[in-house]
Structure 1
């Protein structure tokens, strides 16, 4: 898979006038996109190239994402790497990719730092919560420019017919008895989130994938990266994203409490917001059941199978019994 992506690096960097000086490119991550650390012969400063999966994001969507990250930087809301424009002054590049398919790319300045040490995951979650609150504060105030367009992260686009990753039912790892459990969990979370609503207090512009893997820590500085999933969703769906892939861990309630503690240090929450957390985490987990199947060609998704489906069914059982993350609600 990465060989297909590797062949696009030179074409992408040509749009930035950097192809001739390229000395190396190391794959950093492969999921919805392929991200590379690129080094050059004419400067000691590397750059980070993101090649977009063809057909996954439109050029206006990518430009809108980069509008927001640049505004976040300009307003000092959160720290995030600067966008490097193309030679033509555009925020993103488009070029013919493999087989002539239109390919998009974005280039970023390199940001120093490492992914936070998750051995003390509660501390990491508190940091993530604090940074997410700053992000949401900005999103709630920012007047979006004309033409701004990002995905909708409502039920239909996360786990329904409009989902980019298909339906959780498409995952063959879900056994027949598990299908019934997950279906009941979907019905319950749908009722709860319909009651919670999508007003401006609950729903707005979010990061959409704010996990530890999308933080860079250097000394006391924290930078947020990879806004490719930003869109309009429930603000506390960002909490659910922070718990991705570990929702089944017995320590999940402890980690969620830490996230909420960090968040509320900067932005208040209402009781109904906290009550919605189990439904939002269950929603994210169902989306990930579909994602693990859809992106089974990537090493990370493949490493999660087949246990992920069975673990998801156990999360759903606890959720259906009103026993999932209840300690968080009671302690709040």
Structure 2
């Protein structure tokens, strides 16, 4: 809520602005439920990107969020999850336990573990400075964007947290084919500086976020119907390449096909 208020005040981005209650705070407790109210953002939600203009605008919007985050100082009360080794390791440990339950193939999980270890090793080396690390949207994907004439407006900041800025590109790339990713990166890079090793960072974050996503899916009962196949595809594609030291960002068949 605090970041949304700052984005509305400091930028030209269209965001769901939070409203304060009569006590001047964002959260109102009704019985045991914490409630918030935000301004509605008009536009069209989509399940996937449908044009080059939508991709370009999303890249520019993401860069604008990161530019603001690089200048903004969150208050001490601003506590959010962080993308780091501990979170990825927690996800990997829970996924590994499902082999004993018979949910996942042991060989697939060995590949996931090898890829996860390589990703965590790289994450450990990333610098934390104002131009590379800060507050993230955390889930910039088509269902969390509303489009007006091809212009992207971010909504649903529920996954907001701290981490490398390229985390937001890595999660978006779960919805962008490999051949279109370099152009997306170029659009973003024209608006916010990229680190020299951006490919290595994005690949490590892509692996990390997939593991976190798998871990979150384990809490959904119906995930047993699709998650094993998803894990198998990831192991045979992006994770398999990454575990072998190969690059996957711009080549190959993505996990969703």
Q: Same-fold call, TM > 0.5?
A: yes
Q: Find the counterpart in structure 1 of residue 254 from structure 2.
A: none
1:302 Cα deviation from its structure 2 partner: 6.5
| Higher Cα Rg, which structure | 1
1:267-286 CA distance string (max 9 Å, x none): 12132123311111111111
Q: Does 1:134 align with 2:64?
A: yes
Q: Distance in 2 between matches of 1:231 and 1:125?
A: 23
Q: Distance in 1 between matches of 2:166 and 2:127?
A: 12
Match of 1:281 among 193, 206, 220: 206
1:191 Cα deviation from its structure 2 partner: 1.8
Q: Find the counterpart in structure 2 of residue 207 from structure 1.
A: 137
- The answer as to whether partners of 1:121 and 1:255 remain within 8 angstroms in 2 is no
Q: Find the counterpart in structure 2 of residue 309 from structure 1.
A: 231
Q: Which moved more, 1:111-120 or 1:136-145?
A: 111-120
SS of the aligned residue for 1:153 comes to coil
1:200 Cα deviation from its structure 2 partner: 3.5
- The answer as to whether partners of 2:182 and 2:250 remain within 8 angstroms in 1 is no
1:32-72 CA distance string (max 9 Å, x none): xxxxxxxxxxxxxxxxxxxxxxxxxxxxxxxxxx0110110
Task: Provide the aligned length of Structure 1 versus Structure 2.
Answer: 247
Q: Does 1:290 align with 2:231?
A: no
Match of 1:93 among 18, 28, 37: 28
Q: Does 1:267 align with 2:192?
A: yes
Unaligned runs of 5+ in 1: 1-65, 97-101, 328-332
Q: Find the counterpart in structure 1 of residue 14 from structure 2.
A: 79
Q: Distance in 1 between matches of 2:117 and 2:67?
A: 31
Match of 1:325 among 245, 249, 253: 249
1:87 Cα deviation from its structure 2 partner: 4.1
SS of the aligned residue for 1:133 comes to helix
- The answer as to whether partners of 2:84 and 2:123 remain within 8 angstroms in 1 is no
Q: Distance in 2 between matches of 1:284 and 1:275?
A: 14
Q: Distance in 1 between matches of 2:224 and 2:12?
A: 36
1:186 Cα deviation from its structure 2 partner: 1.1
Q: Find the counterpart in structure 2 of residue 110 from structure 1.
A: 40
Closer, same or farther: CA 221–243 of 1 in aligned 2, 3 Å? closer
Query: If the length of structure 1 is used for normalisation, what is the TM-score?
Result: 0.67
**Higher relative contact order (Cα pairs below 8 Å, separated by 6+ residues):** 2
- The answer as to whether partners of 2:69 and 2:135 remain within 8 angstroms in 1 is yes
Q: Does 1:151 align with 2:86?
A: no
Query: If the length of structure 2 is used for normalisation, what is the TM-score?
Result: 0.84
Q: Distance in 1 between matches of 2:227 and 2:63?
A: 33
